[in-house]
Amino acid sequence: MRRPVGWTIVAAVVVALVPLHAFALTIGVLSRADDDRLDPRRVELGYLGQPGGPPGQAVEVAVKESQFELEAANLKVTIDTATARDANDARSQMQRLEKAGAVAIVVDLPADWIARAAPVTKIPLLNVGEPDDVLRAAQCLPNLLHTYPSERMRADALAQTLAARRWSKVLVLHGTTPDDTNRLATVQASIRRFGLKPVAARPFKLSADPRERDLANPLLLTANVDYDVVWVVDTDGEFARQLPYRISLPRPVVGDGGLFALAWAPNFERFGAPQLARRFLRGVGRVMTGHDWAAWIATKAVLQAALDKATTPAAQLKAFVQPGFTLDGFKGVRLSFRTWDRQLRQPLLLSDGQGVVALAPAEGILHPTNVLDTLGADAPEGLCKTR
């Protein structure tokens, strides 16, 4: 069969044009304006498990390190950064980014802002900073993914570590803010899940008032009871960071002081981690935190899906939960999104800030399909109803 001449010429022109016009890929980044967590005075205290800078920095590192593949695939990436003052503002920023052609948005906002703003858009939103489990359960959405580990994942990681050490008697000290109360419930559930024994739960108060010393003095708070370990729940962190070595028994402190379960630690030495940590340090000028890791891997997910030809928001969303979609997070195993709540399954690092002393899932912990799913909400619980 002979082809019409004109058709052949058109085809030749199209082939010639494709390499000339790089495909433009826009990634949105949405974080909070005037972020209290990033107050310079707070950041310089270097609380473990808290952010060290805006998420856009890690997004840039991820794009930069992928430059070779992006150029080979003719993809030109633009990062569109926005900030929001409140939930309503977050909603309009999401709409603006969607209109601007963002293929996905890296989101670092409080849980209630996400819950209120996210339904406005259908494009993928990658939560890189909010651990609240409610976003993975009652308030989950089909286009809401999470690369930052949930509160429960972190509590499970610590509980597994204690179970593996057979440090089973746990004294819990907790703050009394609404966040602390929420997180206390998560911690207590993890303690039960892994067969530890809660010996007592005591509220603390930051105070130097002698009349309140029963609530404020670490020695008094940890006296008159026997325990293997003190688990402190202190979202702010000021009380918890002063707790180790100041309790009445010579026992370790875990949770928000002492030993933490983290998404990332800059001094992690295995699985090629130092390379990533060094790239970040060189590119940004500060050490990489768990929040940075979450923003970095979220961007890697978007780029990887785009390199697999998923260059529309709908195609991206579909790509993320395909069975073969796995990510390399420099944690030694393949990472992927759970289909039931779109949380990135991942090992967590147990660290006191000086070094990484263990990884979770702990050795010996078993699971019928993927041991990473022993951290956080598992499929049979059916906590997220939207698929």
Partner 1 sequence: MIQRWFAAATLATFGLAASMPAVHARDTGMAYVSSEKDNALAVIDLKTLSIAGTIPTCKRPRHMQFMPDGATLMVACGDSNRADLIDVAARKVIGNVPLGDDPEAFDLSPDGKFAYVSNEDEGALNVVDLASKKVVKSIPVGKEPEGVRTAPDGSRVYVTSEVANMVHVIDPAAGKVVKNIQVGKRPRRFALTADGSELWVSNELGASISIISTRDLTVTQTINFEIKGMRPDDITPVGLALARDGKTMFVALGRASHVAFIDVASRKTSNLVLVGKRAWNVALNRDGSRLFVANGLSDDVTVIDVAQGKAIKTVPVGRVPYMVVVDD
Q: Which residues bind partner 1 (CB under 8 A)?
A: 65-66, 68-69, 72, 272, 275, 278-279, 326, 328, 332-334, 370, 372
Residue placing its CB nearer to partner 1 in the complex, 167 or 271: 271
For partner 1, which is the closer residue by CB, 198 or 283?
A: 283
Nearer to partner 1, 16 or 72 (CB): 72
6 vs 324 by CB, closer to partner 1: 324
Question: CA distances (Å), 187 to each of 144, 198, 253, in order?
Answer: 24, 10, 14
Question: Minimum CB separation from partner 1 for residue 65, in Å?
Answer: 5
Could you give the angle at the alpha carbon of 199 between the alpha carbons of 198 and 202, nearest 5°?
95
Minimum CB distance to partner 1 smaller for 135 or for 371: 371
Give 80 or 328: the residue with its C-beta nearer to partner 1.
Answer: 328
- Least Å distance, CB 326 to partner 1, is 6
Quote the least distance from Cβ 331 to partner 1, whole Å. 10
Q: How far is the CB of 340 from partner 1 (least distance, A)?
A: 18
Please report how close the Cβ of residue 377 comes to partner 1 at its closest, in angstroms.
19
The Cα–Cα gap between 381 and 229 comes to 29
* Distance in angstroms (rounded) separating the CA atoms of residues 212 and 285: 42
Taking the CA atoms of residue 164, residue 349, residue 303 and residue 342 in that order, the dihedral angle to the nearest 10 degrees is: 50
Kindly report the number of other CB atoms within 10 A of residue 291's CB atom.
26
Cβ 46 vs Cβ 287: under 8 Å: no
Give the nearest distance from C-beta 332 to partner 1 in angstroms.
7
**Residue 172 to residue 156: CA distance in whole angstroms:** 15
**Does the bond joining 361 to the residue before it have cis omega, within 30 degrees of 0?**
yes
Please tell me the distance from the alpha carbon of residue 183 to that of residue 47, in angstroms, as a whole number.
17
